[in-house]
Structure 1
Amino acid sequence: MIDDISEVKYFDSFVGAYENNELIGVVGFDADLDDSSVEIWGPFIVPDNWYIVFDLWKKMINLLPDEIDSLEMFPNLKNIRVCQLAKNLSFKKYSDETILIFQRKNSHELKNVSIEELTPEYYLMMKQLHDKAFPGTYYSGQQIINRIDDHRKVFMIINKGIFCGYIYVEAEPEFGEANIDFFAVEKSERGNGIGGQLLTGALKWLFTFKNIESIRLCVNSTNSSAINLYKKIGFQHLHDLIVFTKKL
């Protein structure tokens, strides 16, 4: 967390509650100053001490930078207390999300597929497909291309000179983590197994990093076709989350 939370340092964005010098509760935020938003982490509170939650919350809110105008919370559906807290604090439910996981121990079951790294001649096609599939998302097609390096890759499938689809993934081997951020298939190529090939090829590349033991991804719970595709590749259901948002 100390390494990961950078725009407002961890020590300036988290609040703790103590009882007899023992930590009994924590809540904090991860700020995105460009987007004027924060993601709430917690509250995490020792059982039977939930009564401190509003004092913790008020203390944390006072730490928010002036430019922040929206809050986001992502509690597990089973975390009834935090889900109720979000409602009590006038957050609005934005969406339901499903977390899926693929374990390294199952990587030997991945089929051999043929995908290739994105090359400059296909930049324009990738940008057009991405920006059409994900309008207004956190990375534009050009931003993704600008991020490409040894640990961030865009893979594509070309069939008879036709750009069929792409997938963008990020490996963080120093933390043993990886993300499948975006992938999309041209409408004319859907139903031909392109999505499965892109996912399979990306997974095989990510598992070349020895420190990565599992890969998780988040998908809207209403997107049954995507969830079914992930499960077909070998992902397993892990968690259900609720996304709450609030404007300040």
Structure 2
Amino acid sequence: MSFVISSPKDIEKLALFLEEMNSKRETHIGYCGEQKQQIYATLISDFSDLDLARSFVIAYVKDEIIGALGLDIDEESKSAEVWGPFIKNRSEYLGLADELWEKVIELSRIEMNEFSFFVNEENSFAKDFAINKGAVNKGNYFVLKAFRNDLKTVDLTQIETYSLLYKNPFTNLHDTSFPNTYYSASEIVYRINDHNQLLVMLDNERKLTGYVYVEGDPEHKEGSIEYIAVIAGNRKQGIGTKLVRAALAHLFSFEEIEEITLSVAKNNERAINLYKAAGFKEVHELTYYVWNK
């Protein structure tokens, strides 16, 4: 059956197609969300430095979407996260993924340096596609989720919101734990608002033993745990678990947020055990591929 490849005609219809495809492990891509509203919001306001017309291509049979592929492009670094390829009825449309790829590369009109793929371990089609393009396996990750309905009573004893009283110990712990990271200690403090919160854990002498920094985005029904750290001498006392649960309590205080998703390297057993102890559940295993041109 013949098809036509073009830029998206209807973003809402595209979001619905991606929701359907990403609900199944065998067609799941880690970069793409799993709920139509979340996907739509990303496509509208947070997808690629280029217009959607230059960074996403769709295959149509009449008005039905049968395939899609997008590049979430960072113009400065000339890199892209690959959404897809998503192909319905793959056996009927052999070669469609390559045609979608060639079209989106043509439309983007950028000489890219790097492409990255985040593919469900059960999505053999997308894994083979990435490998055939020359991408290299850079490791596996678990996707973990925490759900509002699973979070019961949270013990907030000895947990407080950040104040200037804790500036020095917080800064020292952050700089030691995350050297050369994307947010400095001062930038974290600057970003604090009603949605973004920095929580600290204190001992009986009111000395800081750990912290967690979270960012909430109720408008898009999302939230993230950006940083968590515990002073070395205070580890293995349940402080990390308590901080994560406090972080979830803050994020779930926004009725729009129903779940929190994060990814952790498969070999990072300490982090995985921490998040699972705090209530996260493993939902996907993804393979990370990188193609450096």
TM-score normalised according to structure 2 size: 0.77
Task: Answer yes or no: is 1:231 the counterpart of 2:276.
Answer: yes
Q: Relative to structure 2, which stretch is displaced further, 58-67 or 161-170?
A: 58-67
What is the match of residue 101 of structure 2? 57
Deviations along 1:84-128, one digit per CA (max 9) or x if unpaired, are 111111111112111111111111254444322222343444344
Describe the shift of the 1:193–1:163 C-alpha distance in structure 2 as closer, same or farther (beyond 3 A).
same
Equivalent residue of 2:220, what SS? coil
Task: Answer yes or no: is 1:39 the counterpart of 2:81.
Answer: yes
Greater strand fraction, Structure 1 or Structure 2:
1
Question: In the alignment, which of 241, 245, 258 is matched to residue 196 of structure 1?
Answer: 241
Describe the shift of the 1:236–1:36 C-alpha distance in structure 2 as closer, same or farther (beyond 3 A).
same
In structure 2, C-alpha distance between the alignment counterparts of 1:187 and 1:89, rounded to whole Å: 43
What is the match of residue 36 of structure 2? none
Deviations along 1:184-243, one digit per CA (max 9) or x if unpaired, are 111122112210111011111111101111111111111112111211121111111111
Q: Relative to structure 2, which stretch is displaced further, 229-238 or 27-36?
A: 27-36
Equivalent residue of 2:276, what SS? helix
What is the match of residue 141 of structure 1? 185
Describe the shift of the 1:197–1:66 C-alpha distance in structure 2 as closer, same or farther (beyond 3 A).
same
What is the match of residue 23 of structure 1? 65
Question: In the alignment, which of 248, 262, 270 is matched to residue 217 of structure 1?
Answer: 262
Is the Cα–Cα contact under 8 Å of residues 110 and 233 in structure 1 kept in the other structure?
no
Equivalent residue of 2:101, what SS? helix
Count of matched residue pairs: 248
Aligned amino acid, residue 78 of structure 1:
E
Higher relative contact order (CA 8 A, sep 6+): 1
Q: Relative to structure 2, which stretch is displaced further, 126-135 or 225-234?
A: 126-135
Equivalent residue of 2:45, what SS? coil
Q: Relative to structure 2, which stretch is displaced further, 131-140 or 192-201?
A: 131-140
Identity %: 35
What is the match of residue 199 of structure 2? 155
In structure 2, C-alpha distance between the alignment counterparts of 1:45 and 1:195, rounded to whole Å: 41
Equivalent residue of 1:62, what SS? helix
What is the match of residue 107 of structure 1? 151
Question: In the alignment, which of 203, 206, 209 is matched to residue 164 of structure 1?
Answer: 209
> C-alpha root-mean-square deviation of aligned residues, in Å?
2.2
Aligned amino acid, residue 150 of structure 1:
D
Equivalent residue of 2:80, what SS? strand
